[in-house]
């Protein structure tokens, strides 16, 4: 994008608010344009400057970007650094380390805080413990933990010794956990006795034991257990080790392992078009640079800010904007164990008031749920709380519709905060398209413009740019430092999925549709272009849910589509062919409930269908492909526009919900 490509029609836009703009890290659109122009003039020089400013290097890099093995790009390759040194030690060395790093609020409201010095000591203890139990550089460690300071300690301790962490969301089932451990050949698992959410315990260790008992996990030597609730759990000696005991035996000093810039920092699994999740692999330096840089740009982070990202550490947002970004910047952040609606739907607003949060980052799905709850119980409305400390309020993970954006702006931001709708993905490592609070005029429902140095575009299937005002594929035409490096153990899948030959083999295909505004050039995301659903901001592959359904002994065939849902954004509708006679009436309701429970145990409760419809068969084309567009229309109760004359059994459409 060229800097003078931006013609702003100020009348359609809001802000930026003078108070925010005046003191902002990037103040005014001219400052933004200058950064964009700087990156355009000297792409590598721009990133080299950022990498030197944001990170401390043990050994400086001499090369910036290597494109010779595209799309397997490398950044700052001959430089050396350590992630946990950059997140912790350097802050302690430059001050006394007494600044609060994390304020943890438990599910029941109890608060504990740790300073940078204390966090560093704990990370060193656990890093030493990992080493003592034989974990070393390049080993994979799976983290299956509740939201806790200990989860951050586990991740940071891995980076300190060069082990590669892979966090598995605590809501995933034993089977999902098992698949990830097996794919990685992990040597250790870090988990907790239980996790507390909304007043209810969830037996993480029990699920972990079940996962390890499912086979293909012989690589796992040790299971470190964080004692969260003190519940009775199964114990497998000498494999199982209490985290606190292992740490107590160790020193608070641990020399960081200096690692090449491209050393893998972590692998995080995400859903794709096939049933098998992709292990998205990130490299240390480029990712860390981006985590720190976007804290400055998108959140306008300042010395006295209190930052709160409500995401779970099991997702990329919890990696970049909890475990890394805020710590890299030496910020104070809130870490929350619970859920937004417990003990009531005022929880978020009460916590913002209590901890004087100034930068807040959450998901549209949470905002939608809290809007609804505030209608039902006005005491939970954000207007009842003192939110005057807020300056920047952000969203990520799914489209935010203009009405929800407006409510967030008015009632949470009190008409004076910048709302940053940030577009990014597990693969991008950090935010790529987002407003800058002190510069970008806001438009409800638009993630606005690419961050400086990001070459985003909207193209057609052949890679040709489409005119503004027309929909197309969202791509990034030049490599950026925080991009994924590969798919774990599957480089071919990496190449085919993200750098398809049709687009020339060197353009990153995001998997989202997008459109640019004819006047402002602003980007709006129109949704996924592949078989991936976004349910409450969680990314789920339709294939994965279909595979789970057909694994049930009663199911012959299944197809899954998404349909719009006011609360969850998209909801899952499953069409199922039963092996014996088609379930009807009460039996159909019973089997639907059973299948939902089944999917929850195969993948996790987040993948449960909202609705299951049974048919004698599924509508297919002559060549035997399931007619998904037709199923989507049926799920949405829309009229059928497809040619159904070739269907062998047209009556099946009625079974599957054709409106009469
Ligand atoms: C998918 C990535 C944002 C990181 C957490 C989710 C959708 C993300 C937006 C946005 C519209 C968005 C896209 C994307 N998405 N942000 N601001 N507006 N859609 O990471 O699980 O990898 O999911 O979330 O469809 O591809 P993820």
Please give the full DSSP string across 43-62, using - where no structure is assigned: HHHHHHHHHHHH---SB--S
> What confidence tens digit (pLDDT) does each residue in 258-275 have?
999 999 999 999 998 888
Per-chain mean pLDDT for the chain: 95
- Counting residues of the chain whose pLDDT is more than 90, the rounded percentage is 91
**Ligand 1 pocket check: which of 424, 471, 511 to mutate, most ligand atoms within 8 Å of Cβ?**
424
**Ligand 1 centre from 238 Cα, in Å?**
41
Ligand 1 atom closest to Cα of 532? Answer: 25
* Other C-beta atoms lying within 10 Å of the C-beta of residue 544: 25
Using 50, 70 and 90 to split pLDDT, how confident is the model at 10? very low
Give me the mean pLDDT over the 197-209 stretch. 97
Residue 38 CB burial class (10 angstroms; 0-12, 13-18, ≥19)? middle
Which residues, in sequence order, are CB contacts of 491 under 8 Å at separation 6+?
A: 72
Q: Are strands 100-105 and 80-81 parallel, antiparallel or unpaired?
A: unpaired
Give me the mean pLDDT over the 177-181 stretch. 98
Q: How many CA atoms lie within 13 A of 594 on its CB side?
A: 14
> What confidence tens digit (pLDDT) does each residue in 52-97 have?
999 999 999 999 999 999 999 999 999 999 999 999 999 999 998 9
> What confidence tens digit (pLDDT) does each residue in 423-440 have?
999 999 999 999 999 999
pLDDT at 2: 39
Ligand 1 atom closest to Cα of 400? Answer: 18
**Ligand 1 centre from 423 Cα, in Å?**
6
Give me the mean pLDDT over the 128-143 stretch. 98
**Whether pLDDT at 622 is above 80:** no
**Whether pLDDT at 461 is above 80:** yes
Ligand 1 atom closest to Cα of 395? Answer: 17
**Whether pLDDT at 405 is above 80:** yes
**Whether pLDDT at 200 is above 90:** yes
pLDDT at 9: 42
Q: Specify the residue with its C-alpha closest to ligand 1, atom 8.
A: 397
**Ligand 1 centre from 134 Cα, in Å?**
37
Q: Which one, of 286, 536, 541, 308, lies nearest residue 430 by Cα?
A: 286
Ligand 1 atom closest to Cα of 431? Answer: 3
> What confidence tens digit (pLDDT) does each residue in 508-531 have?
999 999 999 999 999 999 989 998
**Ligand 1 pocket check: which of 396, 404, 458 to mutate, most ligand atoms within 8 Å of Cβ?**
396
Using 50, 70 and 90 to split pLDDT, how confident is the model at 5? very low
**Ligand 1 centre from 391 Cα, in Å?**
23
Using 50, 70 and 90 to split pLDDT, how confident is the model at 1? very low
Give me the mean pLDDT over the 579-607 stretch. 95
Residue 72 CB burial class (10 angstroms; 0-12, 13-18, ≥19)? middle
Q: Specify the residue with its C-alpha closest to ligand 1, atom 27.
A: 425
**Ligand 1 centre from 532 Cα, in Å?**
11
**Ligand 1 pocket check: which of 278, 311, 395, 398 to mutate, most ligand atoms within 8 Å of Cβ?**
398
pLDDT at 273: 84
Using 50, 70 and 90 to split pLDDT, how confident is the model at 594? very high
DSSP structure class, residue 201: E
Ligand 1 atom closest to Cα of 434? Answer: 17
pLDDT at 621: 80
Q: Specify the residue with its C-alpha closest to ligand 1, atom 5.
A: 397
Give me the mean pLDDT over the 550-572 stretch. 95
Using 50, 70 and 90 to split pLDDT, how confident is the model at 7? very low
Ligand 1 atom closest to Cα of 527? Answer: 25
**Ligand 1 pocket check: which of 531, 539, 544, 607 to mutate, most ligand atoms within 8 Å of Cβ?**
539
> What confidence tens digit (pLDDT) does each residue in 297-330 have?
999 999 999 999 999 999 999 999 999 999 999 9
Residue 266 and residue 152: Cα distance in Å, rounded? Answer: 13
Q: Specify the residue with its C-alpha closest to ligand 1, atom 13.
A: 398
> What confidence tens digit (pLDDT) does each residue in 139-173 have?
999 999 999 999 999 999 999 999 999 999 999 99
> What confidence tens digit (pLDDT) does each residue in 37-64 have?
999 999 999 999 999 999 999 999 999 9
pLDDT at 8: 42
Give me the mean pLDDT over the 463-475 stretch. 97
Give me the mean pLDDT over the 372-389 stretch. 97
**Whether pLDDT at 454 is above 80:** yes
Using 50, 70 and 90 to split pLDDT, how confident is the model at 12? low
**Ligand 1 centre from 181 Cα, in Å?**
25
Residue 498 and residue 270: Cα distance in Å, rounded? Answer: 14
Q: Specify the residue with its C-alpha closest to ligand 1, atom 24.
A: 397
> What confidence tens digit (pLDDT) does each residue in 229-256 have?
999 999 999 999 999 999 999 999 999 9
**Ligand 1 pocket check: which of 419, 525, 533 to mutate, most ligand atoms within 8 Å of Cβ?**
525
Determine phi and psi for 573, rounding to 5 degrees: -120, 125
Ligand 1 atom closest to Cα of 510? Answer: 26
Ligand 1 binding pocket (C-beta < 6 A) is 270, 315-317, 396-399, 421-426, 447, 510-512, 525, 528, 534, 539
């Amino acid at each position: 994008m060229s800097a003078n490509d931006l013609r702003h029609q100020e009348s359609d836009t809001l802000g930026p608010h003078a108070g925010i703009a005046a003191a902002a890290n990037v103040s005014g659109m001219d400052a933004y344009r200058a950064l964009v122009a700087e990156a355009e003039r000297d792409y590598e020089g721009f990133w080299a400057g950022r990498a030197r400013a944001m990170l401390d290097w043990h050994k400086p890099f001499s090369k910036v970007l290597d494109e010779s093995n595209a799309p397997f790009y490398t950044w700052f390759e001959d430089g050396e650094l350590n992630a946990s040194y950059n997140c912790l030690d350097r802050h302690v060395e430059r001050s006394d380390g007494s600044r609060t790093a994390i304020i943890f609020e438990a599910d029941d409201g109890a608060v504990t805080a740790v300073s940078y010095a204390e966090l560093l000591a704990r990370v060193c203890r656990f890093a030493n413990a990992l080493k003592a139990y034989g974990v070393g550089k390049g080993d994979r460690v799976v983290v299956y933990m509740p939201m806790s300071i200990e989860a951050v300690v586990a991740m940071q301790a891995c980076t300190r010794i060069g082990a590669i962490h892979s966090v598995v969301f605590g809501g995933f089932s034993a089977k999902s956990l098992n698949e990830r451990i097996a794919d990685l050949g992990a040597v250790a698992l870090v988990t907790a006795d239980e996790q507390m959410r909304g007043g209810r315990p969830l037996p993480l260790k029990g699920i972990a034991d079940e996962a390890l008992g499912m086979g293909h996990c012989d690589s796992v030597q040790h299971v470190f257990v964080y004692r969260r609730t003190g519940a009775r759990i199964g114990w497998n000696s000498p494999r199982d080790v209490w985290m606190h005991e292992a740490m107590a035996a160790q020193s608070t000093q641990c020399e960081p392992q200096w690692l090449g810039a491209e050393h893998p920092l972590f692998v995080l699994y995400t859903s794709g078009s096939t049933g098998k999740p992709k292990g998205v692999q990130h490299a240390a330096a480029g990712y860390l640079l981006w985590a720190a840089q976007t804290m400055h740009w998108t959140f306008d982070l300042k010395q006295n800010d209190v930052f709160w990202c409500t995401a779970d550490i099991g997702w990329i947002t919890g990696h970049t904007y909890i475990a890394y970004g805020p710590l890299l910047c030496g910020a104070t952040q809130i870490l929350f164990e619970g859920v937004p609606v417990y003990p009531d739907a005022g929880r978020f607003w009460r916590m913002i008031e209590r901890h004087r949060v100034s930068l807040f980052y959450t998901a549209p799905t949470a905002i939608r749920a809290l809007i609804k709850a505030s209608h039902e119980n006005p005491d939970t409305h954000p207007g009842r709380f003192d939110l005057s400390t807020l300056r920047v309020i952000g969203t990520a993970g799914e489209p935010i519709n203009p009405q929800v954006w407006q409510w967030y702006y008015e009632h949470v931001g009190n008409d004076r905060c910048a709302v940053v709708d940030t577009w990014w993905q597990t693969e991008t490592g950090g935010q790529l398209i987002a407003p800058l609070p002190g510069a970008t005029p806001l438009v409800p429902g638009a993630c606005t413009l690419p961050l400086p140095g990001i070459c985003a575009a909207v193209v057609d299937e052949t890679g040709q740019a489409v005119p503004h005002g027309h929909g197309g594929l969202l791509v990034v035409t030049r490599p950026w430092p925080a991009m994924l490096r590969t798919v774990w153990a599957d480089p071919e899948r990496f190449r085919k999925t993200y750098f398809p030959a049709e687009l020339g083999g060197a353009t990153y295909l995001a998997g989202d549709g997008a459109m640019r505004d004819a006047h402002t050039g602003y980007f709006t995301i129109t949704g996924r272009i592949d078989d991936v659903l976004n349910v409450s901001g969680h990314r789920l592959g339709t294939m994965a849910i279909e595979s789970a359904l057909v694994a049930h002994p009663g199911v012959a065939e299944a197809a899954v589509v998404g349909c719009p849902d006011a609360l969850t954004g998209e909801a899952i509708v499953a069409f199922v062919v039963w092996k014996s006679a088609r379930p009807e009436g009460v039996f159909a309701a019973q089997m639907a409930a059973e299948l939902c429970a089944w999917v929850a145990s195969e993948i996790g409760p987040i993948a449960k269908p909202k609705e299951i419809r049974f048919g004698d068969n599924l509508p297919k084309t002559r060549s035997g492909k399931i007619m998904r567009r037709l199923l989507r229309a049926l799920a949405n109760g829309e009229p059928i526009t497809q040619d159904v004359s070739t269907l062998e059994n047209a009556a099946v459409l009625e079974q599957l919900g054709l409106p009469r």
